[in-house]
Amino acid sequence: MLKSQSPDRSESSQSVPQESGAERRPGLAVDFAGVNHSFLHNDKPVRALDDFNLNVAASEFVSIVGPSGCGKTTALSMVGGLLAPRTGSVRLDGKDVKGTSKDTAFLFARDALLPWRSARRNVEIGLEVRGVPRAERRQRAEEWLQRVRLEEFVNSDILRLSQGMRQRVAIARTLVQNPRLILMDEPFAALDAQTRAQQQEEFIKLWEQERPTVIFVTHDLEEAILLSDRVILMASRPGRIVADIKVQLPRPRTQEMRTHEAFTAHFDDLSARLREEVNRAEEQRQASANE
């Protein structure tokens, strides 16, 4: 069983004022216990998660990496209340996840912005759904667009913005909701390398100020190491955890840390393990194709 060491939670157990004047809310602790899940594929069950156990402490930043199809998105969907485990439990601060929650926000590679709305009105969407009054919505959206350096584009059409700018709008739309937990699935995958590096750094700065809990799914080991407190490596068929590594890099993190000795040691270790898992999955695939 891979349980994390819980950092001191006393710091995050109370709301504290933050830069923007809004209250910073404590991150949510996430707990998977004995989770098993299968999907039916061509009438045969595919075991997506097998005895999956994971503790994410409040305000921790945890990445999940692993070969394609190992169950990363399945695990994330369960935390977000989009999918219920067949057996076992997924809990947020000790309470079973039951559907989506206003404390949880999502951020994906596809930004899902509404093209007929301006940048500001896209940022306001989540607040609108929650019935936040118009003036407050507007003020909070503008404040967040400023924090992601888009103050000049508040009224711009989404279709006129670059991919990187659109993703910054999506980040503002997520963070304006003041979530206690952010679930991220390859959020920077659609960006070119330079924009991606810039957004990683910007996002991590914002996260360091806000400190919601983050579960971050990625195929990019370097990204996982650079951003996270812990990196969880999964193996496939059935999806399970094979390594749980605490990243030994100080915060605040910067792109320059990629050359840090601890960074390269983590990278070499994780890529060797990942290669092993990918090879094993390929052998299994060939064996079942030959059956």
Contact region with ligand ATP (CB under 6 A), list: 3-11, 50-58, 72-80, 134-142: 72-80
Q: Which residue, 80 or 239, has its beta carbon nearer to ligand ATP?
A: 239
Contact region with ligand ATP (CB under 6 A), list: 63-71, 109-117, 193-201, 254-262: 63-71
Q: Which residue, 169 or 235, has its beta carbon nearer to ligand ATP?
A: 235
Q: Residue 15: which residues within 8 A CB-CB, separation 6 or more? A: 23, 24, 25, 26
Residue 35 near residue 98, CB atoms below 8 Å: no
Residues numbered 13-42 forming contacts with ligand ATP, rule: CB under 6 A: 39, 41
Can residue 231 be called a binding residue for ligand ATP (CB under 6 A)? no
Q: Which residue, 44 or 98, has its beta carbon nearer to ligand ATP?
A: 44
Can residue 69 be called a binding residue for ligand ATP (CB under 6 A)? yes
Beta bridge partners of 37: 49
Q: How many CB atoms lie within 10 A of CB 186?
A: 18
DSSP string, 82-108: SS--SEEEEEETTEE--S--TTEEEEE
Q: Which residue, 40 or 193, has its beta carbon nearer to ligand ATP?
A: 40
**Chain centroid offset of residue 223 CA:** 12
Contact region with ligand ATP (CB under 6 A), list: 5-13, 61-69, 104-112, 151-159: 61-69
Q: How many residues does the chain have?
A: 291
Beta bridge partners of 33: 89
**Judging by beta carbons within 10 Å of its beta carbon (0-12, 13-18, 19+), is residue 164 exposed, middle or buried?**
middle
Contact region with ligand ATP (CB under 6 A), list: 25-33, 71-79, 102-110, 190-198: 71-79
Can residue 184 be called a binding residue for ligand ATP (CB under 6 A)? no
Q: Where are the alpha helices (DSSP H) in the chain?
A: 72-79, 119-123, 125-129, 134-147, 163-175, 193-210, 221-227, 261-290
Among residues 71, 80, 85, 212, the one that binds ligand ATP under rule CB under 6 A = 71
Q: Which residue, 26 or 66, has its beta carbon nearer to ligand ATP?
A: 66
Q: Which residue, 74 or 122, has its beta carbon nearer to ligand ATP?
A: 74
